[in-house]
Structures are given as structure tokens and as C-alpha cells.
Amino acid sequence: MRIGNTFFQENRDEFINRLPEGTAVFIFAGDTRPMSQDDDYRFLPDRNFYYLTGLDFPGGKLILTKKGEESSVKLFAPVKDDFKERWHGKISSFEELSEISGLSVDDILPEGDFEDNKYEILKGGYVLAYDGTSVADSTKAFASEKDVTLDIGEILTRMRMVKREAEIESIREAAKITEAALEEMKSYIRIGGTEVDIFAPLEFGMVRRNSLIPAFATITAIDGNAFYLHHSIPEGEEGPKIGLGSQIQIDVGGRYNGYCADISRVYFVGGRSGDDDKRFVLLELIRKLRREAFGFIKPGVTFTTLNEHMWQITGQWLTKNGLAPEDPSVEDIRKYYWHNTSHHLGLDVHDISLRELPFEKGNCLAVEPGVYIPEWNVGFRIEDDVLVTEDGCELLSSGIDSDDSIVVVPS
């Protein structure tokens, strides 16, 4: 189900309230990108355009103004056209756009009126502002114009960092979609199978639950391919095969209402081969790191202090296992602890944030301690999604008590 339009109306009201006096902000949905001469990549709107409207059509433009006690919001959208729809798909009516966004139909104008309205604002003495966090070409082009002087990206970043209930529930649902697809995928983990053999059912499991665009490029990495952290092109018969003693790293996320999940799982094939099976030796560390991270995250903690806590535990383990000297340095630890422990999660899988700020209630984070030991040919991460609460954090995905975090596939 869609997020109710009051969510987007309240976002616009709060955003305008935070704007400097006399500001006119231009927000662009972005345009489609060509994949070939006669086809485009599937479109995703600029995230801040979506955050303020709930709309996802290409070419959309939004102007928000604030002067004295007066404020306004105008949306510019394509007008329904039978011929265009015949070749390019459905165009929503202004009434439909109003229902989704909460905007008055009177505040939705034909896209051809944009330049005239822009000119009127230029004459009105406003400070012209843009969103510096946007990656849309239309935003970059607007920002380069000589009259545009103010970047309001940080305002929207601060707003998006603290999730509201509808956002939290959307991330929770995205996690459910992701884990349901993972559960179905497990039956395809078979001796002799390839990365494509498990990639296909995983993607299908999300698509059939209406998550048409994954949160990021799905990773299915067998054995040594797990050492390429973003191994996003699965290999078929030319690549590694699942065998006894294999590890399979999965990193995947579905979307719901535009909001992302980010979940990593590792699967072991054939059971423990003995007390020194390095997969299970490392697993105990990863499980400890996860428990410690979930217990450590709370308001006031920063990414830096979280990483340092994880490094301290990892350093002791590395020393115990002969992989680092006594009292190891950060460089000794980072030789095996390659990536950060956590990042913000939301409309993007690595959601926009001010990473130096302490965590606060309402932050949603992906938590992914991972250790990679080339000497052992073993390395992986296990990742779940959490909500920062008043005095700790709450899991949004299944977490450390789930049997799905590790699966021993029978031979």
C-alpha cells in the first residue's frame, strides 16, 4: 500500500518552515536515461522529489517558495495525451497526482508553464535555491545558472536522517520482502550450482512481491568472489561452483514504497568439517560483533565510536588466532576489517546523511560487521537493519536469533 498523502504534505510543510526567508527552491524529479536508441532504463525519481511529493514520473519539477507569511508549492507535470500514452505508457491525470501527493489540483500545472513561472520568481526578488545532494542532470544544469546561489541540500538531509513511522514501516516491509526471497532461494543452493542459479530465484522472489527495482545490485558470491565486496555481476558456468565446504555470500535488498532494505547472509555447504573449519571459527567472531553492535548502538554513539568498538574486539580475536601482533594497530586490524560497520538506510541504500553526527532516535541503519581473511580463503559479513530508539536500537529485519543467518546445506 502507498504511504498516505499527509506524509508528503507534512514533509513539504516542515521543509518550507526550515527554509531561509525569501527563498524559492527548485526540485527536479530527473529524466529517463537511454539504454539504447529506442529504450530507456527503468526510471527512479530523485529521492528528495519523491520525499516531498510521493510521485515517480520523469521530468517532474517542483517549486517551493517562502516570503514573509506567504508560501507556495507548485508542481509541473505532463498533461494526459492519448498519442503519447499509446507509445510511452500511462500519464497520470492531475487529479491522480493530487491524490498521491496531497497537493491541490490547482497547484499542479502543465510542464510547459514551468519557464514562465520561473521567470516570475526571478522578478520577485527571491533567493534561488537548489538541492546540492541531487544527482539529476536537470538539477546540476539549474545549479549552474548565474542567478542560483543557495544549496538547501543539508536541510533535506537532516530531515531524511530521522525517519517517521511510515518510513520505518516501509523499511520493515522491505526487509520482509527481502527475507522471504532469501528463504525461497535456499532450495536452489545445490552442489554444482552457480551464482546465476541462486541470483535468478532471489531476484524473482523480490519482483513477484512487487519490488521491481532492487535497492542495489544483488550480490551472490561463491567462495573467493566474496572478497570482491561489490561482486554485482553473477557468474554462470564460467565461474565458481558450489561444492562441499563452500561459503556463499549474499547481499540483497528489496524496496517498499521506495524505501530500501539491506541484508547480507552467508551460507555454508556441507556442515562443519572439524573444530578448525575456518568458516565456523570466523562465524563465532561475526556473531559476537553483531551482538556487540546491536547492544552498542544508541543515541549519542557515532559511526566512528562504533567502528572503534568493533576494531577493538576484532583486534583481540586476530591476535588470538595468530593473524595480528599483540596490541594490534588500526592498520593491522583494517587488513582484515575492510569496510565500515554501518551506514544510514532509507530511500537510498546508503542514504544521504551527515556521517559525523551522533545517532539519534529515528535513524535507520544497516549494520554489517565483516571480516575477510585471504590466508584462510574465508571472509564474509552478516547484515541486518535497525532503528535507533530512545535508549538503544530495534531490529527491523530478523536479526541474530534467526536460523536464516547461517544455513548448513546438506551434501
pLDDT above 50 for 260: yes
AA letter at 208 = R
Q: What superfamily does domain 165-409 belong to in CATH?
A: Creatinase/methionine aminopeptidase superfamily (3.90.230.10)
Residues across the chain: 411
Q: What is the mean pLDDT of the chain?
A: 95
- Which pLDDT score, from 0 to 100, does residue 217 have? 97
Question: pLDDT tens for residues 277-327?
Answer: 999 999 999 999 999 999 999 999 999 999 999 999 999 999 999 999 999
Average confidence (pLDDT) over 9-31? 97
**Gap between the Cα atoms of 179 and 208, Å rounded:** 13
Residue 252 CB partners (closer than 8 Å, separation 6+): 178, 181, 182, 202, 206, 214, 218, 219, 263, 264
Question: pLDDT tens for residues 182-228?
Answer: 999 999 999 999 999 999 999 999 999 999 999 999 999 999 999 99
Average confidence (pLDDT) over 20-31? 97
Average confidence (pLDDT) over 229-257? 96
> How many other C-beta atoms lie within 10 A of the C-beta of residue 150?
17
Average confidence (pLDDT) over 91-114? 97
- Which pLDDT score, from 0 to 100, does residue 405 have? 47
- Which pLDDT score, from 0 to 100, does residue 402 have? 47
C-alpha cell at 104: 491541490
Q: Are 92 and 84 within 8 A, CB to CB?
A: no
The residue with cell 510521485 is 55
Buried b (16+ CB within 10 A) or exposed e, 159-168: bbbebbebbb
Question: What are the residue ranges spanned by the domains of the chain?
Answer: 5-161, 165-409
- Which pLDDT score, from 0 to 100, does residue 410 have? 61
- Which pLDDT score, from 0 to 100, does residue 277 have? 93
C-alpha cell at 188: 536452489
- Which pLDDT score, from 0 to 100, does residue 328 have? 98
Q: Are 341 and 302 within 8 A, CB to CB?
A: no
pLDDT above 80 for 1: no
Buried b (16+ CB within 10 A) or exposed e, 102-127: bbeeeebbeeeebeeebeebeeeebb
- Which pLDDT score, from 0 to 100, does residue 38 have? 85
Average confidence (pLDDT) over 236-247? 95
Residue 329 CB partners (closer than 8 Å, separation 6+): none
State whether residue 264 is helix, strand or coil.
Answer: strand
Q: What percent of the chain has pLDDT over 70?
A: 97
Average confidence (pLDDT) over 145-164? 96
Q: What superfamily does domain 5-161 belong to in CATH?
A: Creatinase/prolidase N-terminal domain (3.40.350.10)
- Which pLDDT score, from 0 to 100, does residue 2 have? 87
